[in-house]
A and B are shown apart, each in its own frame.
Chain A
Amino acid sequence: MSLAPARFGMAFSIPLGSELAALVAVGLLGALGYVVFPDDLAFLTRLISITLLVLSLDLVTGYCGVATLGQAALFGVAAYAAGNACIAGLTNPFLLLLVGMLAGVIAGILSGLLIARFRGLQQLVLSIAFGQLVAALANKLTAWTGGSDGLSGITPAPVFGVFDFDLYGHAAYWLSVGALAVIMAALAAFVRSPFSLTCEAIRDDDLRARMIGLAVYPRLVAMYAVSGAVAGVGGALSAITTGVVGLDSVSFERSAEALVMLVLGGAGHLWGALVGAILFQVFEHYVATSNPYNWLVLVGLMLMAIVIFAPGGLMRGVDLARRRRARRRG
């Protein structure tokens, strides 16, 4: 994996190189999307909020090995929190993102406290239970969530007081691209930190991690808090940019789909999460419009092909190819 040289190979690295690369790459991708799909900005905006959910899942599943099918709870709680804050009069979009982030952190810590206690199947079942609990609450607490009608009437103020959230969706799109770029850059630094390395150690062998003095549970809960922050920004973005929050944002399907995207791109790899989320959603979007009857079959076939031919995900395949080439040269 490319992690090793990134963390140890200091001779050639530019200070903050990978962070800058993340910032620039996301910015360029954003510009590319804007130029190539100018009529689909609403779709691309939604894609970005889901991408943040997949990134947040990567932190706990890819980096810590936590098996979870309840990650959408973090996303959804934040979306409802941001939506309610907006309706209550806090309309500055940046403050709303902050509200979503905090709500996500709280939801992340709660879910981590429950889920990280266990391993394997128990963990998976508990994560589903946590997700279902949040979904059931969202359905019942209609005063805060609008129940099955959804929470609507979310009208944030213009970005910087200038760029309105209008029908063209330019402000929503660029706000989303900016948020994703900043988060990718922050995560590029974070996943190279000593803390993240200890999480990877826990994923590989939690008993051995304990035996070198690492307290496993608190570390996993801490990672859940970071994950909640990322998912929370995603949830808040979806509330701000669409103006509504529905029950689908806390649904089991959303959690499951995020996991599929992560596996597709490559868990334990930031770019894997990003690539998986983008490819899956773009594929889904275009196949669904061009072939509305068989699109699910095509999505299923694509997934099978990737799991069979690139079992570690697309980015892992790219990594392996790069290393093989480097070895042949050296």
Chain B
Amino acid sequence: MTASLRIENLSRHFGGVMVTNDVSLELFSGDRVALIGPNGAGKTTLVNLISGHLQPNGGSIVLEGRDITRMSAARRARLGLARTFQITRLFRSLTVGQNVALPILQRRGLSRRLLSRRTNERAVRRDCEALLDELNLAQFLDTPVRELAYGQQRLVDIAIGLALEPRVLLLDEPAAGVPHDEAPLILSAIARLRPDIAVMMIEHDMDLVFRFAKRVLVLAEGRLIFAGSPSKVAADPGVRRAYLGSYPHGRGEA
């Protein structure tokens, strides 16, 4: 079975600091992986490297058998790699519908149309409504995203990622900053992700990690120090050492 995403010996340094140090990992179709680690472990940097926001100093990234290490971020996204952001990044002056329509237009190859075609718009709208329905956002179709509550904005962020119909989805702390009463929305959205896509989620909330992940990866000082089942992670001496003295994990910022 070929991996959906294979990373080999990935490295990146800022000045003299190795932020990503010889990281290798594989994600398979249907994978649900949590990436955890203490503050400053380099989790977001790893996602930035994979998504093409940052260039690595060494190593390779292979998406479904294709080497994407030197490709632009846009190209990677077109090949089926989607990500969300730790701090919501939405198209703020646009409506919820438009935010979700954009990745759909791109995926359907309609994003270069200079004059709109109504039939295509209808198909896009259908896709859009189906996706928003799934996330309980249907009533916000024509609402500007900036008028939504933060938890709902996070959902739109995830919806944009899903609208690409990716093979690999990277979620950077999807529940960060979401008020407690809105967190279940995020949880159920994640629970309903299509079963065949590979998902890697950065998350601090261990509750969420245990509910979501079949595998846990632990990153500390840029190195991958643990890969295994969620039940074993807390007992691992290396992981305990990495967290010891940093901070008692729970909800927090990366």
Q: Which A residues have a C-beta under 8 Å from some C-beta of B?
A: 1, 3-5, 7-10, 15, 189-190, 192-195, 197-198, 200-201, 203-205, 207-216, 226, 268
Contacts and interface: CB of A to CB of B under 8 A. Distances in A.
Interface residues of B, number: 44
7 contacts: A4-B144, A10-B122, A208-B89, A209-B102, A210-B53, A211-B53, A212-B160
B5 interface: no
B142 A4 contact: yes
B93 A1 contact: yes
A212 B91 CA distance: 11
Given A201-B91, A205-B89, A210 B74 contact: yes
Interface in B78-103: 78, 82-83, 85, 89-95, 97-98, 101-103
Given A211-B83, A214-B111, A5 B98 contact: no
Contacts, number: 121
B5 to A, nearest CB: 16
A212 B103 CA distance: 6
A212 B51 contact: no
Contacts of A226: 114
B57 interface: no
A197 B97 CA distance: 12
Contacts of A9: 142
Given A205-B90, A211-B53, A213-B107, A8 B116 contact: no
B164 A195 contact: no
Contacts of A190: 114-115
Main secondary structure of the interface of A (DSSP, over half): helix
B241 interface: no
Contact of B94 (A15, A195, A201, A213): A201
A106 B150 CA distance: 44
Nearest to B124: A194
Given A5-B142, A189-B115, A192-B116, A213 B98 contact: no
A287 to B, nearest CB: 33
B90 A208 contact: yes
Nearest to A190: B114
A209 B93 CA distance: 14
Contact of A201 (B53, B102, B144): B102
B118 interface: yes
A237 B112 CA distance: 30
Contacts of B103: 212-213
B90 A214 contact: no
Task: Point out which of B74, B106, B113, B144 has the most chain A C-beta atoms below 10 A from its C-beta.
Answer: B74
Interface string B125-152: 1000000000000000110100000000
B105 interface: yes
Contacts of A7: 98, 116, 121
Given A1-B93, A195-B113, A210-B73, 8 more contacts: A190-B115, A198-B111, A201-B94, A212-B77, A212-B102, A212-B103, A213-B78, A214-B102
A197 B93 contact: no
Nearest to B128: A8
A210 B113 CA distance: 18
B121 A10 contact: yes
B242 interface: no
Given A189-B115, A190-B115, A198-B102, A212 B164 contact: yes
B231 interface: no
Q: Which among A9, A203, A210, A211 has the highest number of chain B CB atoms within 10 Å?
A: A211
